């Protein structure tokens, strides 16, 4: 599984423990970096897009927080927002259990996906022994 993740092409946006946020930047600035440097928007527009992405995921309040001040769920939401703003056709969430160790994460990710209402594919790579957690999330619906 790890080899499969490592071999992912460049057009895949990844959310993973080994792709952390920039520790000395706020959640908002971490996300705003993408439109600022990739699309060359100005700082105001980049910040507006980043704030809009956080609002879309239901995490508008964490904008000023830096990585060490965030809960695992807030950190994950910021990483997800950063991956979504990349606007790549595929999104891979790599071993979410390592990042979301204090919430029932399959249900949490489903909730975020519904809020984000994005087009494109979301793929979750996880250990096979965590399959029951996903089954539980599906059964509870």
Rounded CA separation 106/136 (Å) = 9
Residues lying near another protein in the complex (CB under 8 A): 14, 18-24, 33-34, 36-38, 40, 42-43, 82, 86
Beta-bridge partners for 92: 14, 123
Q: How far apart are CA 120 and CA 117, in angstroms?
A: 10
Q: How far is the CB of 10 from another protein (least distance, A)?
A: 8
Least distance in angstroms from the C-beta of 140 to another protein: 33
94 versus 126: smaller Cβ distance to another protein? 94
Nearer residue to another protein within complex by CB, 93 or 106? 93
User: Residue 64, Cβ neighbours under 10 Å: how many?
Assistant: 10
Nearer to another protein, 22 or 135 (CB): 22
């Amino acid at each position: 599984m790890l080899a499969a993740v490592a071999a992912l092409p460049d057009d895949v946006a990844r959310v993973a423990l080994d792709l952390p946020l920039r520790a000395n930047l706020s959640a908002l600035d971490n996300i705003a970096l993408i439109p600022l440097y990739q699309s060359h928007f100005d700082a105001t527009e980049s910040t507006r897009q980043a704030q809009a992405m956080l609002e879309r995921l239901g995490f508008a309040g964490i904008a000023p927080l830096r990585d060490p001040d965030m809960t695992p769920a807030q950190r994950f939401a910021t990483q997800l927002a950063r991956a979504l703003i990349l606007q790549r056709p595929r999104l891979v969430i790599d071993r979410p259990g390592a990042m979301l160790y204090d919430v029932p994460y399959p249900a949490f990710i489903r909730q975020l996906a519904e809020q984000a209402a994005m087009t494109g594919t979301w793929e979750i790579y996880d250990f096979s022994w965590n399959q029951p957690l996903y089954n539980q999330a599906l059964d509870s619906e």
